[in-house]
A and B are shown apart, each in its own frame.
Chain A
Amino acid sequence: MSITKTLLGRRDLADIISTVEFNHTGELLATGDKGGRVVIFQREPESKNAPHSQGEYDVYSTFQSHEPEFDYLKSLEIEEKINKIKWLPQQNAAHSLLSTNDKTIKLWKITERDKRPEGYNLKDEEGKLKDLSTVTSLQVPVLKPMDLMVEVSPRRIFANGHTYHINSISVNSDCETYMSADDLRINLWHLAITDRSFNIVDIKPANMEDLTEVITASEFHPHHCNLFVYSSSKGSLRLCDMRAAALCDKHSKLFEEPEDPSNRSFFSEIISSVSDVKFSHSGRYMLTRDYLTVKVWDLNMEARPIETYQVHDYLRSKLCSLYENDCIFDKFECAWNGSDSVIMTGAYNNFFRMFDRNTKRDVTLEASRESSKPRAVLKPRRVCVGGKRRRDDISVDSLDFTKKILHTAWHPAENIIAIAATNNLYIFQDKVNSDMH
């Protein structure tokens, strides 16, 4: 079986992409960037007339979500970079999403206008008041179709909830609340209330001198509205139950893998720091990403992950150089496919990796302009670590560490993936060749 990745869209965006997120149907794809902008792409319906245009993604709306701010009290600039976007489940014709920078979360409502009223009695077509003497009869204004206009408006601004930098937001399955997590605290908000939030996790020590661990990511369980998980810089995961106590400092479950003594180094802690955690769609598993691996955890087993996949183990001997140039602190995200059978994560040199949990096969692909022709078959890539080298292999020392794929997203139902490579967005679709079996 060959993996054909057809390109459904590639955009050269103005700024470095900082987050990518499909909505719940996969019809919309939102990206946030370093300049505080949000760009939403919409999938065109597949047309029978043009079977080759297989539902490509086009720009639907662009808006400025966050602006740079200045905190006068501390003389600090607050970056406008969008850290995370999360879509709300759609409840009416409008779409809503939450976007956040380091300090402030905003709820945006996206509506379409494709009709406008015509035939006013008191105004003419340009909106100017009519001379009343010319009005001889009354008419009822009618709605006439117009060019589609997408309107975006900020509905709520959730500010002043966080002292430290927000790294995650997650909408609860109850569709009424959501949480936001910074380095030391997690807050619970109601989507309709902006002047109040509840602190549900606080790991700030009484004496900051004793600080040894920070929160790196957090997410609500997809089905149980009382459960959420948060990961730490020490590589542990804590599952918390909001029914147990108002302040969930005491975890219900602690997921932690004991350190492998044969792999111990000064950098053991840094590479064990979890950069992303995602519940499976089923809610039974969790996926975590640390510097060198992705791990699948069963919620019923705290002692160790049930599966571990090496993303780029060839970097294990280069940790000191990666520490020196700070690459070891890069935070990669991870993603499940719709059926929880394949997991994906990014790496360096614009490579991204996919692991099939059932067949245990994995593949390395590259998001680059060369591979971005519409019906190109993405060629699997290989990194060689010495020894026999095949023709198209890349040697470890030739990897470009400035080209990192930190943000990836998988369509909730189909085999469509969105890859953010610096300021380029690639959207690939997996098509199994019809003549293959």
Chain B
Amino acid sequence: MLSKGLKRKREEEEEKEPLAVDAWWLDPGHASVAQAPPAVASSSLFDLSVLKLHHSLQQSEPNLRHLVLVVNTLRRIQASMAPAAALPPVPSPPAAPSVADNLLASSDAALSASMASLLEDLSHIEGLSQAPQPLADEGPPGRSIGGAAPSLGALDLLGPATGCLLDDGLEGLFEDIDTSMYDNELWAPASEGLKPGPEDGPGKEEAPELDEAELDYLMDVLVGTQALERPPGPGR
């Protein structure tokens, strides 16, 4: 993608993305954006952020800084959109924006507890924004663009509550294991009958119809035997 020292002529504009002045992306409270329709702008930015989060999580080892910054930005956008849509107050601790990504399905059933409350949030957020248009190949270079557009209808948890369980119990045994994999894993609520993600994702080994009882059983198995379930699938 990077040119190898070829002198770039001024006329060659096709490779560069023209940067329009984006005044309306500023906070709706900003004085200069009085005329802009804030709700529409926030919504597109929200979709863009969701897409970014999706791409970031698709990577086998997501860039934590990128992830955290996108999530925080998403929270800000969400917060600014919330009053407009008259959302009921989000239960604390505020669940991170739940995003469609069922590639890194987790088998850790500790998620099930927070799942219920998060799904409730999702249903409110769903009403706010439509599913983003599938973007043309504009994604950051080097990242695989999954086939399906991340629709907000299929929502997963950015809930690394799983990490705690494995982390504490196995810290001593497996000191060099990167638990961030489990920390950031997302749960595919297939039991909710939501649309599954792109087929290249790992984690399809679980039966799609896991219910709460099976999750509890799984949890016991995990705690009891300390069997680590390694997410299959190659790296990026």
Contact = CB atoms under 8 A, between A and B. Distances in A.
9 contacts: A74-B181, A163-B180, A208-B180, A209-B161, A213-B68, A265-B26, A273-B69, A324-B138, A370-B7
A204 to B, nearest CB: 9
Interface residues on A, range: 35 or more
A77 interface: yes
A164 B93 contact: no
A97 interface: no
Interface of B: 1-5, 7-8, 10, 13, 15-23, 25-27, 29-30, 45, 48, 52, 60-61, 63-66, 68-69, 71-73, 76-77, 80, 93, 95-96, 114, 138, 140, 158-161, 163-164, 175-181, 183-184, 230-236
A9 to B, nearest CB: 16
A265 B68 CA distance: 17
A214 B68 contact: yes
Given A265-B26, A398-B10, A321 B45 contact: no
Contact of B3 (A76, A270, A323, A402): A402
B16 A398 contact: yes
A12 B5 contact: yes
Nearest to B234: A75
A320 interface: yes
B68 A212 contact: yes
B181 A208 contact: no
A325 interface: yes
Contacts, number: 158
B64 A214 contact: yes
A317 B23 contact: yes
A223 interface: no
Contacts of A317: 21-23
Contacts of A400: 8, 16
Contacts of A214: 64-65, 68
Contacts of B19: 318, 321-322, 396-397
Contacts of B69: 233, 269-270, 273, 329
Contacts of A160: 175-176
Contacts of B65: 183, 214, 216, 233, 273, 329
B95 A266 contact: no
Interface in A314-371: 317-326, 329, 369-370
Chain A interface, >50% SS class? loop
B230 to A, nearest CB: 7
A71 to B, nearest CB: 8
A233 B45 CA distance: 21
B141 to A, nearest CB: 9
Contacts of A71: 178
B198 to A, nearest CB: 18
Interface string A290-325: 000000000000000000000000000111111111
B230 A73 contact: yes
Contacts of A398: 10, 13, 16
Contacts of A329: 65-66, 69
A211 B68 contact: yes
Q: Which of A74, A164, A214, A402 neighbours the largest number of chain B CB atoms within 10 Å of its CB? A: A74
Contacts of A322: 19
Contacts of B45: 266, 320
A208 B184 contact: yes
A329 B70 CA distance: 10
B228 to A, nearest CB: 9
A186 to B, nearest CB: 15
Interface string A179-204: 00001100000000000000000000
A279 B163 CA distance: 36
Contacts of A424: 5
Nearest to B183: A208
A237 to B, nearest CB: 16
A75 B230 contact: yes
A210 interface: yes
Of A12, A70, A396, A402, the most chain B CB neighbours within 10 A belong to: A402
Contacts of A396: 19
Contact of A207 (B15, B23, B80, B164): B164
